[in-house]
Every structure is written in structure tokens, then in C-alpha cells.
Structure 1
Amino acid sequence: MYKLEVKLPQKSYPILIKRGIINDIGNEIKKVFNNKRIIIITDHNVQRIYGEALSENLKSYGFEVNTISVEAGENSKSLDVLTDVYNQLLDAGMTRKDMIIAFGGGVVGDLAGFAAATFLRGIRYIQIPTSLLAQIDSSIGGKVAVNLSRGKNLVGNFYHPEAVYIDPDLLKTLPERFLHDGMAEVIKYSCIKDKELFNRLREINTELDLFTIINEIIYSCCNIKKGIVEKDEKEAGERMLLNFGHTIGHAIEKAFNYEGYTHGEAVAIGMYCIVRKSESMGITKEGTSDSIKELLVKFKLPFELPKIDFNILLEAINLDKKSESESINLVLINEIGESFIKKIEKEKVAQYLFS
């Protein structure tokens, strides 16, 4: 088992990474939660595969369990779905002494986490991420949110879980597209902070190769994020590095109504586009964009910007959370493993993003 601890001024919590930990999850949760009632928030796909087993395991340790299941997909990160979740929590008699489990991918983690942060002014919750993207990124660091029609994650909070339990075996039932979706975020981590991880990814040739070292990959990414979050919990500085590729990526997601591209696919395009442009401007080491492209192709991720109305992209970018009144903070890299934040005047943003 790998164990990390996120240490913050107001709260600390463990991250446990272990194959098969889901089979002993009730025992683990008893170490951080002494009361009885737990409400699982999940999506229909995860519920169908793992829901009954999780519920029965928890009940075997004396917990009282209810489940709220939402539609899978980004559209569930909405105020309408959030309101429905609130009503189901009320119907279940949820109190501030009870616990929520976010059991799913990034959408469920964000939705359930934001529900926990806001219902009854705050309820404890645990993250059990089931997608690679959630296991290495969104379940850690306390960023929880829902989307508005005008942009992604525009209503949210920083609200940390009591613990994060990561079982890499859950990835075995993940469709290939969503496994590769998570690999985009793995590539992101390697680009901003870990050249050695980048080189290890270049050595992977098969899915068997990937799963042979998946525990180590997850640990490396979680350790990078833990370190960044501990230095900058509220995204005032260094934590912005985690948004490498996301400025364009979020704009692509919005332009396609969160249906044409997964989050990781959109971020993959964003990473390649910004590096190719910064390379041409002499900011990034020559050949870096080709190296990134090689990895993206290996994991069946897109890299070319789709045909989108340029004005739609710019409008979405101006609503980006890294945007300020007259400028926007862009994440750039000097070379693989070395990243930095550059403040750009809004009228010059296109020069740094698009060829």
C-alpha cells in the first residue's frame, strides 16, 4: 500500500493507494468515521457494477447505507442535479453527523463534494474515485464545483475530504476511452513537474505495461498534487500549474457542450496547442511539442484543435477561473518537467494559444 497525507493548516487527511482496498473499505472507513449513517453518491454506471458490493461491505461493518445515483456524464454537474441531490439528502434524513461517500469519477466527486460542502453548511465526506482521472487528480485537493451554462466549475468551493481511498483494480472495468482520458492528466503531471515520469510513459507499449506500473503512476501524480496543494491550497499561485492545457481544454469542452470531447481529450489538445505555439515563440525547448504529441498518439488522445468558431473559444477563455480583469494566467513550460505561470494581457492571449 502507498500512503500519503495531505497536510494543510486547517485540515489533514490520508490518501491510501492499494489494489483491492474496496474489498475492505468498511474497515478503513471505521478508522475515520465513528457514526452510523452513510449516503453514497454515485452514477448509474458505477452503481451497476460496484454499487451493491460497496453497500453490502459497509453494512457488514454496521453502517446504515443509502445511495443516490445520478446520470453518468458532465451534464450531471449542474445546479438542477445538485438540487435533486439536496432533496434526496433531506428525504434520507441526513444530519451533520453523517457521512457522504463520493463514489465515481470526476463528475461524481465534484458534485458530491460540493453537496457535502454546502448541505447543512457542511457535512464530512470521503472520496473513492473510480476513474484514473479522478484517482490522480480531481479527488485530491478539495476543489468541488458544478457547472453553469456559461462555463465549467463556475460555482464551487475548496472543501477537503476526510480521506481518499484509491483502488487501481477499479480501473479494470473502465472503458478504454476513459482510461486514456485519465492518461492525459498523467501526461500533464509529467510535463509540469516530472521528466522521469514522462520518460517512463514513453516506455509503455501495451495496456499490460500500463497496469504493471499503474500503482506507481498514481502515486507519482498524487504526490505531485499533494505537494502543490500544501503550498497553495486556494490556487493563488503555484496550484495554477495544475491547469496546464486546461485554458484551451475547458473552452473546447464548452464549445462542444461537454459531449464531443472528454475532459482529458480536450486537455490533451490544449497541452499540445499551447506548447507548439510557445515553442514557435522561443519560450519552450525545440522538439517538446513533438515529444508530447508522440505520447498523446500512443494513448489514443487527440492533439489537433477541432474546427470551432474562434470567437466562441475566446469567450470561453475569458470566463476561465484563471482570468483577471485585464489579464489571464497561462501555464507554459520551458521543457518537460519545468513549468511556470505567465500573466498575459487579454488582448494578447490569442498570440500564445493559437497558430
Structure 2
Amino acid sequence: MNELVVHTSTHSYNIYIDEQIRYQISKFIANDYSSIFIISDDQVAPLYLDDIMTGIETERIFHTVIPSGEASKNIDQYYRLQTIAMEKKLDRRSLIIALGGGVVGDLAGFVAATFMRGIDYIQVPTTILAHDSSVGGKVAINHELGKNMIGNFYPPKAVIYDVNTLKTLPDHEIRSGYAELIKEAFIANAEFLQQLLPLTLATISNDQLKDHLFQGVKIKADIVEKDEKELNIRKFLNFGHTLAHALEAELGYGKITHGEAVAIGMLFALKISEHKYNKSLYYDQLLNWLQGNNYPLSLFHTGIDQLINAMKLDKKAQYQQIQMVLLSSIGKPVVVNLTDDELHSYLQSFKKELSAP
């Protein structure tokens, strides 16, 4: 079993990565909880909810299911889950288990962070993408004007990652998760990047997957420990996310996976980085890798002005000026302010490049 410890200002928590550990959840629950509330989605629950429940030794266990997809990270689902928690008489000694991908983790974590001013929760990720979102304590719901605009920093009590649950992932979810792994390699580990760029996603073994997840989680955990509330270096984890979040908001949540949007955003950030720092930063290599693994790279028909306006709603924007994470070198991210005119020029060129035959 791969195991990491993440230290936060409130408590430390363990991340466990192994096979078949979803059947042994009680082993990883440190406290004696009055009740347990499992939140999952309609894709994951039929596959793994029973497995989780058989491994929990308590009588007061409840569960509910949300529709899968980014569109469920909304105020209505949040309110519904709070209502269920009250109806089931959860108290401050209750535990919430988030069983699913990043959407379930973000939503269930925000419910936990705000129910009775905060109760414990555990992340049980079932997607590759959730290796990123389940670590670090960011929990949130979306607003129609911006992604993750309503949220908190609220670390889980544990992250229990059973890689066997990843065998049922569709191709677009594998692409989504590996985009975040590539992101972590770009900002922190050139050697890891060299391992990932030759890969064909369809041929990855379980052992490779466990190793890649461990390396990605370690990068994320190291950064989060140094900057829990995103005041400094944690911003680097947003490499590729400024354009990605704008694309998601403009296209409508769920039209493209988060990681697929991040892939486009990283490519855009690399294009700007290569221009600003006058050096090769693997733009061509990443483009070839994304094309070879069937990432949807079209910017669709989203207008450039609309994208810029959406980027201004990004949480990193300050005084209506857009901040982007760029790379001065592989493994050396920087945060740069960009004007509207600069962005317009870069986006116009980038859009033309991606739409070229």
C-alpha cells in the first residue's frame, strides 16, 4: 500500500492508495461516529456503494445519490443534501463519506464543511482526476457565472483510494485524470513528465497507474502543506486552469470534462510561456501527446471576448486583471498578470492554430 501523510493547520490526514481497500473502510475510520452519511452519484453508486457499506461497522448508516456530472455542483443539490442530513438527524459526531469523483468530493466536502459549522468527512475517490481534487481540502459548488466560486478550505479526515474502481472509467475520464497528472509534472517534476509524455493511455497497467497517482498526489500534498490557503505557491496548481474554468463556464458545465478543459488550458499557457521566455517548453510534445490520446482540442465556437470576461471571474483575477500561471522553465511556474489586449492576441492565435487542419 502507498501511504502519504498531509499536514494542515487543523489536523493531519492520511492518503491510502491500493487495490481492494474499498471493502475495508472501517480500518481507516479513526473515530467512533454517531452516524455515517454516504454521498455518491448515479454512475458510481450502482458499482461500489454496496462494497463500501459492507465494510462499515455501524448501524446508523445512510446514503443518497446525486446525478453524475459537473452540473450537480449547484446550490439546489447542496441544499437537498443539507436537508437529508437534518432529516436523518446527523449531529456534530457524524461522518460524511464522499464516494465518487471530483464533483461528489467537492459537493459532499462543502456539505460537511458547513453542516452544523463543520463535521468530519472522508474522500473515497473513484476517478483518476479526483487524485487532485480529493487532496488539499478545497470544497465548493459552482455558480452559473463561475466555477467553484462558493466554497471553503476544509481538509478531509482521510483519502482512501482504491485503484480497482478506476477500471470502469470511460475514456474521457481517463483523459481527464491524466491531464491533471501531466499538470503536476509540468510544474514540479521534469522526470515525472518524461515518464508520462510517451504514454498511450489505453495501455497503462495497474502498477503504472498506482505509481503515477502516488507521484501526482505527492506533488499536490507537498505544495498544499507549504501553502494551505493558496496565498503563495499553491496558485501554481492552477496551471492551465484559468482558460479551463472559463471554457467550462462558457460551454456549460459537463459539456467537456474538467481535465480535458485543463489540457486545453495548459497548452495555451505553454504557448504564452514559450513566447514570453523565448524557450521551448514542450508545447509541441504536449500537443502531440494530447492529439495521440484523443483529447478534444477544439475551442468550439466560444467567442474570445466571452472567454476573457469569464477569465476575469477566475478567483486568481485581481482588480479586473487576469493572472495566469506560466512556466519560466519546466518545474518552475510563475504567476503573471496579462492585459486584455495580450490575451486577445494570444487567444486569437491559439484558436487559429488548434482549428488548422
Q: Please indicate the TM-score interval, normalised by the length of the shorter structure.
A: over 0.9
Q: Check whether the contact 2:34–2:91 (CA below 8 A) recurs between aligned residues.
A: no
Match of 1:182 among 177, 180, 184: 177
> What SS is found at the alignment partner of 1:132?
coil
> What SS is found at the alignment partner of 1:311?
helix
- C-alpha spacing 1:200/1:179, structure 2 compared with 1 (3 Å): same
Q: What are the Cα deviations for residues 34-93 of structure 1, in whole angstroms up to 9, with x where unaligned?
A: 1241000111111111112211221xx235210011000111100011011111111111
1:190 is displaced (CA, Å) by 1.0
Gaps of 5+ in 1: none
Aligned to 1:34: 32
Q: Check whether the contact 1:6–1:230 (CA below 8 A) recurs between aligned residues.
A: yes
Q: How far apart in 1 are the matches of 2:323 and 2:194?
A: 28
Q: Check whether the contact 1:277–1:353 (CA below 8 A) recurs between aligned residues.
A: no
Aligned to 2:115: 119
Matched residue type, 2:16: L
Matches within 5 A, 1:219-298: 219-279=214-274, 281-283=275-277, 285-286=279-280, 288-298=282-292
Match of 1:48 among 42, 46, 49: 46
Moved more, 302-311 or 262-271: 302-311
Q: How far apart in 2 are the matches of 1:299 and 1:65?
A: 41
User: Is 1:335 aligned with 2:329?
Assistant: yes
- C-alpha spacing 1:174/1:180, structure 2 compared with 1 (3 Å): same
1:353 is displaced (CA, Å) by 4.9
> What SS is found at the alignment partner of 1:144?
strand
Aligned to 2:2: 2
1:328 is displaced (CA, Å) by 2.8
Aligned to 2:293: 299
Q: How far apart in 2 are the matches of 1:77 and 1:284?
A: 40
Match of 1:202 among 187, 197, 203: 197
Q: Check whether the contact 1:100–1:112 (CA below 8 A) recurs between aligned residues.
A: yes
Aligned to 2:55: 57
Q: Check whether the contact 1:274–1:353 (CA below 8 A) recurs between aligned residues.
A: no
Q: Check whether the contact 1:273–1:305 (CA below 8 A) recurs between aligned residues.
A: no
1:306 is displaced (CA, Å) by 2.6
Matched residue type, 2:50: E
Matches within 5 A, 1:152-163: 152-163=147-158
RMSD between aligned residues? 1.7
Aligned to 2:19: 19
Q: Check whether the contact 2:248–2:254 (CA below 8 A) recurs between aligned residues.
A: yes
Moved more, 199-208 or 220-229: 199-208
> What SS is found at the alignment partner of 2:175?
helix
Q: Check whether the contact 1:102–1:112 (CA below 8 A) recurs between aligned residues.
A: yes
Q: Check whether the contact 1:265–1:302 (CA below 8 A) recurs between aligned residues.
A: yes
Moved more, 253-262 or 204-213: 204-213
> What SS is found at the alignment partner of 1:226?
helix
Matched residue type, 1:97: R
Matched residue type, 2:333: S
Aligned to 1:313: 307
- C-alpha spacing 1:63/1:127, structure 2 compared with 1 (3 Å): farther
Q: What are the Cα deviations for residues 3-46 of structure 1, in whole angstroms up to 9, with x where unaligned?
A: 111112322111111111112122222xx121241000111111
Q: How far apart in 1 are the matches of 2:66 and 2:45?
A: 9
1:206 is displaced (CA, Å) by 5.5
Q: Check whether the contact 1:327–1:344 (CA below 8 A) recurs between aligned residues.
A: yes
User: Is 1:133 aligned with 2:129?
Assistant: yes
1:175 is displaced (CA, Å) by 1.1
Q: Check whether the contact 1:184–1:267 (CA below 8 A) recurs between aligned residues.
A: yes
User: Is 1:147 aligned with 2:147?
Assistant: no
Matched residue type, 1:48: P
> What SS is found at the alignment partner of 1:301?
coil
The count of aligned residue pairs is 349
- C-alpha spacing 1:335/1:303, structure 2 compared with 1 (3 Å): farther
> What SS is found at the alignment partner of 2:267?
helix
Gaps of 5+ in 2: 350-357
Q: How far apart in 2 are the matches of 1:6 and 1:128?
A: 16
Matched residue type, 1:319: L
Identity %: 39
Q: What are the Cα deviations for residues 151-190 of structure 1, in whole angstroms up to 9, with x where unaligned?
A: 1111000001111111111100111211111111111111
Aligned to 1:69: 65
1:348 is displaced (CA, Å) by 4.1
Moved more, 196-205 or 343-352: 343-352
